[in-house]
Structure 1
Amino acid sequence: MTQSPTLPRPIQVASLIQGQWHAATGGQEIRDAAYGQPIAYVSSEGVDFAAALKYGRDVGGRNLRKLDFHQRARLLRSLAAYLNERKAEFNALSHLTGATRRDNLVDVDGGIGTLFSYSSMARRDLPAQKFVLEDDINLLGKGGSFIGRHVLVPREGVAVHINAFNFPVWGMLEKIAPNLIAGVPAIVKPASQTAYVTEAVVRAIHESGLLPEGALQLISGSTGDLFEHLQEQDTVTFTGSAATASKLKVHPNIVRRSVPFNTEADSLNCIVLGQTVTPDAPEFALFVREVVNEMTSKAGQKCTAIRRVIVPRERVEDVTQAIRERLSGITMGDPSREDVRMGPLVGASQRDDVAEVLRQLKAESEVLIGDERPELLGGDWDSGAFMAPTLLLADQPLTNHTAHELEAFGPVATLMPYADLDEAAELARLGRGSLAASIVTHDRPEARELFFGMASTHGRILILNRDDAKESTGHGSPLPQLKHGGPGRAGGGEELGGLRAVKHYLIRTAIQADPTTLTAITGEYVRGAAVTDDGVHPFRKNFDELKVGDSLLTPRRTITESDVSAFAGLSGDRFYAHTDEIAAKDSLFGKRVAHGYLVLAAAAGLFVDPGVGPVLANYGLEGLRFTEPVGFGDTIRARLTVQSKTAKETREGETPTGVVKWHVDVTNQNDVLVATYSILTLVARSANGPAI
């Protein structure tokens, strides 16, 4: 046995409850993964779980809800930058869990990167408000005086996150980023085996002082009677085994109070090699690389790891040999060493669990690679939790259901041959719901057939080929922008997915009112609401002087045949409905009509103030609709109204600005709407305006 000289003395992992660190005595003993030496004790003995929930709701929730989405997002960005400076500390601890430097790029760097991503998404796509207006206005009456809309507001509870052992940093940060953006506090309960890593990150967060008081609490050890004290506004997310999830989600109090419960469970993810892929094709090498990476990254302890390797029957021997050759270059040992590519499993009990499932899989499958003890570069086979990568062959996978039912949560995968694409898709679906799958092919019809054959049972599918390989993040890698979760045995839940995750922590309420009242409540103008016209052109007002509802009704302009001819010549748009008298008679309009973009340009000419002023730039337009044709001799006018305002963050040396969204209605001489849209402009703010 090679004894590491750097193992720390055992520590007592503490909980952060009601703003104070609480350390019990003793508890579950945790050993390092490579050498099997005691490094920590974990216990939540003495924690008042009811008080923790109440503190989160009363203190954390209230403090977070004082801030708008942009303010919370900026806090998240500052927190990510702070943690980024502490990565070396987190990486060193993470090595004790069996994670290599490569593994830490996913867990530590990936977790911090998720905070940065959510901060950016929220500042870009959410309003600088404490609520979100969802979808368009719904007319509930013929006259337009009764309308409805959906509004999203923060839950007034606590988000309880119960995490798995394999990603002690990313698993926490990817969950708390959306709930903090939403304005909801969190209580995090990491798996005991790696809780000391999570605790170190929470200590750094707490020491930073960046989050409002009560925004984050930590339970190290058992959850005790926590579930007994959950209320209707609380939420629970769980990552781990499907068996544990099925027990927790039917807890009597969860059911009685209808507490939302989101499950992300381990699943039998697969990768499919297309029939058209030959051993000399780039896709063949990509396929082998993904299989080996997923077997060895985190020692196969990933909820998205490849468990089923589905290949054309005629490629079984080629694939086996290629995997064997690539695995021969994988070094195992002490994960803190630069020359080690694969570390141990998280602990001896996890290794024993995997060995037991592997024993059951062997009853119906042949071992192609495995059952050996490669040389270790540090660490100990007997005291540590090492396991060599193992590849099995289920030669009759349509009838051998063990490999579709049992998951060895370690470096174990099963090769499954198929006869045609229908059979490949059927094998993929036999997993009964997975988080992720990959299809490796450069043949687009083949990719299409496989995708639609597999889509209903997979949360995410990567199509990997020579064209996207350079930028691809690989099989199963959760991305902040895309959904992480899957149907069936994968839990039926969703995490990440961009701002969808934020909306999990918001309550959707429908509001029904008249336009003026709805505008007053939401702060966003809707057509039909009362407007303000004080005689000052809105373009002469800076951002801070403008108010939602400020409006301008323009003079009129008559559209002539010469206008249409000039526009056709200038733009090159000589579409027959505008320029051909004879053809236009048989058109939808029965006559020549003005170009829609001529109407748009003419409206701009009516409402734009040409002088130098606070309006700096035009960002573009949204929601353009031409509702009625404009013929020769029709007279149009426009109403320009401030629809909403969003102050922009100002960097040092920049001019303070904000984005103003203007609603524009263009009507004809009969007051009939002919065009409607919104334009976005960049407008200067007052030098002494409110800080952002």
Structure 2
Amino acid sequence: MIDVHSFAAGHWTPSDSAARPIACAITGEIIARSGNGALDVGAMHAYAREVGGPALRKLTFHDRARMLKALAIYLGERKQALYDLSFHTGATQADHAFDIDGGIGTMFVYASKGRREMPDARIYLDGEVEQLGREGTFLGRHVAVPLQGVGVHINAFNFPVWGMLEKFAPTFLAGVPSIVKPATATSYVTEACVRMMLESGILPDGALQLIAGGTGDLLKRLDAQDVVSFTGSADTALKLRSEPHLLANAVRFVAEQDSLNASVLGPDAAPGTPEFDLFVTEAHREMTTKAGQKCTAIRRIMAPATHVDALIAALSERLQSTQIGDPRDKATRMGALVSTAQRADVLEKVAALATEAERVSGDPDSFRAPVEGGAFLPPMLFHCADPDAAERLHDTEAFGPVSTIMPYRDADHAIALLNRGKGSLVASVITRDTDLAREMVLGAAAWHGRLYFNNRDSMAEATGHGAPMPHMVHGGPGRAGGGEELGGIRGVMHYMQRTAVQGSPDILTAVGAEWIPGATETTASEHPFTKTFHDLAIGETLHTDPREVTLDDIETFAHFTGDTFYAHMDEEAAKANPFFPGRVAHGYLLLSFAAGLFVQPDPGPVLANTGLGALTFLKPVSPGDTIAVRLTVKKKTPRTDTYGQVRWHVTVTNQDAEKVAEYELHTMNAYS
């Protein structure tokens, strides 16, 4: 018997008399108990705010990203123990790849994005500087800082590890502590993962807490600095988000709920094509992975009327050959539903679907469970000949191995059927027809959080209809909850406050640790290329001597590179061009000369020039003009244990101090 503990205010708290029994999905035997009616959620909220939040906010984004990576490695080395527990939820070894491996993988992605896309600082710069005054002395910029509250994560039963980690990773990276409330049915798996995370010693105190059981009056304690992120049924989401206290205090509420996801077989994906076979594979996988208990599973299948019979035959054959059994058996391809209560709920919904569709594969009445007492069901495929007249098919989700095939006439009809779901997490289209893909985006994107296209060209790398990737948005409008999770750094921003900061260039430079033109410059006492990464100061500037650009320079460069464009070689033709006064220097000649003016040639801390960005040519340079360069340290970002990236603001001016070019130079500089 597993006694699922809560982790509250720094201590593990066992279940009490309020605990609920949890049955093994395979055998029906009681294996765990979870819940504590006396849990002090007020102390948990205070502990997160007073201990966890301040500790996290002292760290930079890079500090937290490194912790996420270390934590992912730690869990990866111990995931077999999570596999062994997760079998009791009805999940197969393949299902573990979605839940446990997927959750760990999400942490790796956020660790990487935190280091690559966020600064080694405590303030995130959101977008570019806006010039608010004519002379550039009054500027504005959006920044983001961590909320000073807590992320309350209320998760569903189907993904006890991924469901927690996909919320925890962006919350932690933002610098906000988490209170996790898993679904009771699989809470023992979540608890085991939380124990590992805490035992690792990687997390600051208060960064992660766990509620096993009810949340008590926690929601009534939240305010505008807190975030509630919920995954589950639409009914529960409505109940929670309607809590008067949450509404009165403008508490952020993110919901990912019921979703009638659909998949469309393109007209070009006829039987015998790779696309048709791919479609059958995807539909079969989505119906049987996690026994169909996925928020992204395909519930409605749209196919051209001419392909429906062939699709029913092919998909039915695949479904009927699926090995259903004890998920611990390596031969098993589909395990049990999470509980007998969930099985009963699916059968109730199936009865409603059967009023509008004919079951063409899978009969629960004649199905013999492979293990007595387990929550097993066969995959069930329905066919609705008239989807336009149907109602329940477009508003009822049987959260199990159930899907319905329906015909469509043309692209507009397929789009209309997709949108009858009134909002989903994902819709997929299997086609090579690029025009159809564009039509689908224009017609259906407004009702779907993700559109997944696949065909023979992308199938080798495609991740699958039902696999939310941490790089991309997970969520959807309408019935899907109207929320949004993941999406790379977008997911982090849900736990941060975006604020418009206005002031002088010096103020914005100090706030963002990024030099802005117009801010104070410090004249370099020695060539900046001779200084290590850590010795360079933001705003440190080198002004070079001038160099004349001659006609001979222009012609030599043209012949040497092969760039004999008429503006550089033909005086009359160049004068006829409204942009040029006559023959002018190549833009890339100016860049080359600029480098020659500011480069220090000896071996030193500058290891490599890795590129440039935001290049703009502002004014032509004629033969006889001179150019000079201002090189300023703009931003510094650590990259490895031995070197970091330096971004330099480069301005090239002519003899009249007019800008002729401006860009950002990127170098990698050693720490010592």
TM bucket, shorter chain: over 0.9
The alignment's TM-score, normalised by the length of structure 1, stands at 0.95
Among 106, 121, 146, the alignment partner of 1:114 is 106
CA contact (8 A) 2:625 2:655 kept: yes
Q: Does structure 1 residue 494 correspond to structure 2 residue 480?
A: no
Greater shift in the superposed pair: 404-413 or 623-632 = 623-632
CA shift for structure 1 position 542: 1.4
Q: Distance in 1 between matches of 2:331 and 2:286?
A: 19
Aligned partners of 1:30 and 1:648: how far apart in 2?
A: 47
Q: Name the residue aligned to 1:384.
A: 374
- d(CA) in 2 for partners of 1:290, 1:617: 45
Distance (Å, rounded) in 1 between the aligned partners of 2:364 and 2:400: 15
Q: Give the match for residue 560 of structure 1.
A: 550
Q: Which residue of 1 aligns with 2:632?
A: 641
**Change in 2 beyond 3 A, CA 1:534/1:620:** closer
Q: Would you say 1:665 and 2:657 are equivalent positions?
A: no
- In structure 2, C-alpha distance between the alignment counterparts of 1:248 and 1:63, rounded to whole Å: 29
Counterparts of 2:560 and 2:478, CA distance in 1: 59
Secondary structure at 1:434 match in 2: coil
Deviation at 1:97, TM superposition (A): 0.7
Query: How far 1:389 sits from its partner (Å)?
Result: 0.9
Amino acid at match of 2:513: G
Tell whether the 8 Å contact from 2:383 to 2:406 is kept in structure 1 after alignment: yes
What aligned pairs does 1:407-422 form with structure 2 within 5 A after superposition?
A: 407-422=397-412
Opposite residue 651 of structure 2, the aligned amino acid is D
Which residue is equivalent to 2:16?
Answer: 25
Shift of residue 649, structure 1, vs aligned partner: 2.4
Amino acid at match of 1:86: R
Matches within 5 A, 1:460-479: 460-479=450-469
State the match for 1:129 in structure 2. 121
Q: Output the CA distance in 1 between the equivalents of 2:438 and 2:500.
A: 39
CA distance in 1, matches of 2:569, 2:424: 57
CA distance, structure 2, for counterparts of residue 376 and residue 639 of structure 1: 79
Residue 577 (structure 1) shift: 1.7
Which residue of the partner structure matches residue 217 of structure 2?
225
Residue 459 of structure 1 corresponds to 449
For 2:5, which of 14, 19, 37 is the aligned residue?
14
SS of the aligned residue for 1:435 comes to coil
**Residue 183 of structure 2 is aligned with which of 173, 181, 191?**
191
Deviations 1:25-59 (A, max 9, x none): 24211111111111111113111111111100110
Return the alpha-carbon distance in structure 1 between the equivalents of residues 140 and 309 of structure 2: 63
| CA distance in 2 between partners of 1:658 and 1:293 (Å) | 44
* SS, match of residue 246 in structure 2: helix
Give the counterpart letter for 2:577 in structure 1: S
How far did 1:612 drift? 2.1
Question: Tell me, what secondary structure is at the counterpart of 2:180?
Answer: strand
Q: Distance in 2 between matches of 1:560 and 1:376?
A: 89
Deviation at 1:335, TM superposition (A): 1.1
The residue matched to 1:386 in structure 2 has which SS?
coil
SS at match of 1:91: helix
> Does 1:450 pair with 2:426?
no
Give yes or no for contact 2:16–2:36 (8 Å, CA) kept in 1. Answer: no
- 1:500 is displaced (CA, Å) by 1.0
Distance (whole Å) between structure 2 residues aligned to residue 626 and residue 273 of structure 1: 49
Q: Deviations over 1:370-428 (max 9, x none)?
A: 22467768422xx2211111111111111212100111011110111011111111111
Matched, 1:624 2:624: no
- Number of corresponding residues: 670
- The equivalent of 2:587 in structure 1 is 596
Q: Counterpart of 1:112 in 2: which secondary structure? A: helix
Structure 1 residues 676-687: aligned runs within 5 Å: 676-686=662-672
**Counterpart contact for 2:369–2:376, Cα < 8 Å:** no
Letter in 1 for 2:425: L
5 Å-filtered alignment, 1:536-555, equals: 536-555=526-545
Aligned counterpart, 2:505? 515
2-structure distance, mates of 1:518, 1:448: 42
Tell me whether 1:397 sits opposite 2:383 in the alignment: no
Asked whether the equivalents of residues 24 and 46 of structure 1 are also in contact (C-alpha less than 8 Å), the reply is: no
In structure 1, which of residues 54, 59, 63 is the aligned counterpart of residue 55 of structure 2?
A: 63
Q: TM-score, normalised by structure 2?
A: 0.98
**Which ranges of structure 1 fall in alignment gaps of 5 or more residues?**
1-9, 651-655, 687-692
Question: Residue 89 of structure 2: SS of its match in structure 1?
Answer: coil
Say whether residues 1:89 and 2:81 are aligned partners: yes
Deviation at 1:592, TM superposition (A): 2.1
Judge conservation of contact 2:445–2:451 (CA < 8 Å) in 1: yes
The whole-number CA distance in structure 2 between the counterparts of 1:315 and 1:375 is: 29
- Aligned with 2:523: secondary structure? coil
Structure 1 partner of 2:30: 38
Which residue of 2 is the match for residue 256 of structure 1? 248
CA distance in 1: counterparts of 2:629 and 2:364, whole angstroms:
79
The partner residue of 1:182 within 147, 168, 174 is: 174
Distance 2:507 2:338 in 1: 58
Structure 1 window deviating more from structure 2 (576-585 vs 217-226): it is 576-585
Amino acid at match of 2:52: G
Q: Measure, in 2, the Cα distance between the counterparts of 1:577 and 1:386.
A: 76
Residue from 337, 350, 355 that aligns with 2:347: 355
- Counterpart for residue 164 of structure 2: 172
Whole-angstrom distance in 1 between the partners of 2:187 and 2:257:
19
What is residue 6 of structure 1 aligned with on the other side?
Answer: none
Check conservation: 1:332, 1:375, Cα contact below 8 A. Answer: no
Q: CA deviation at 1:539?
A: 1.1
CA deviation profile, 1:638-657 (whole Å, cap 9, x unmatched): 1001111122322xxxxx22
Structure 1 counterpart of 2:42? 50
Contact between 2:369 and 2:377, CA under 8 Å: does it hold in 1? no
Aligned residue type for 2:660? V
Q: Secondary structure at the match of 2:499?
A: strand
CA deviations on 1:323-368 (whole Å, 9 max, x unpaired) are 1111122111111111111111111111111111111111111111
Q: Which residue pairs with 1:689 in the alignment?
A: none
Partner of 1:468: helix, strand, or coil?
coil
Query: Contact 2:475/2:484 (CA < 8 Å) preserved in 1?
Result: yes
CA contact (8 A) 1:603 1:666 kept: yes
The question of 1:431 aligning with 2:417 is answered: no
> Aligned to 2:467, what secondary structure does the other structure show?
coil
What amino acid does structure 2 have at the position aligned with 1:638?
Answer: V
Alpha-carbon deviation of 1:536? 1.0
**Cα deviation per residue 1:551-587 (whole Å; 9 max; x = unaligned)?**
1111112222222111111221112222221211221
- The AA in structure 2 aligned to 1:524 is E
The residue aligned with 1:328 is 320
Deviations 1:597-639 (A, max 9, x none): 1111111111111222221110111111112222222222110
* AA at the equivalent of 1:505: Y
Alignment partner, residue 599 of structure 2: 608
Mapped partners of 2:571, 2:515: distance in 1: 41
Structure 2 residue 563 is matched with structure 1 residue 573: yes
* In structure 1, distance between residues paired with 2:491 and 2:55: 21
Q: Deviating runs (4+, > 4 A) in structure 1?
A: 373-378
1:77 corresponds, among 69, 73, 79, to: 69
* Alignment match, 2:207: 215
Match of 1:639, SS state, is strand
Matched with 1:310 is: 302
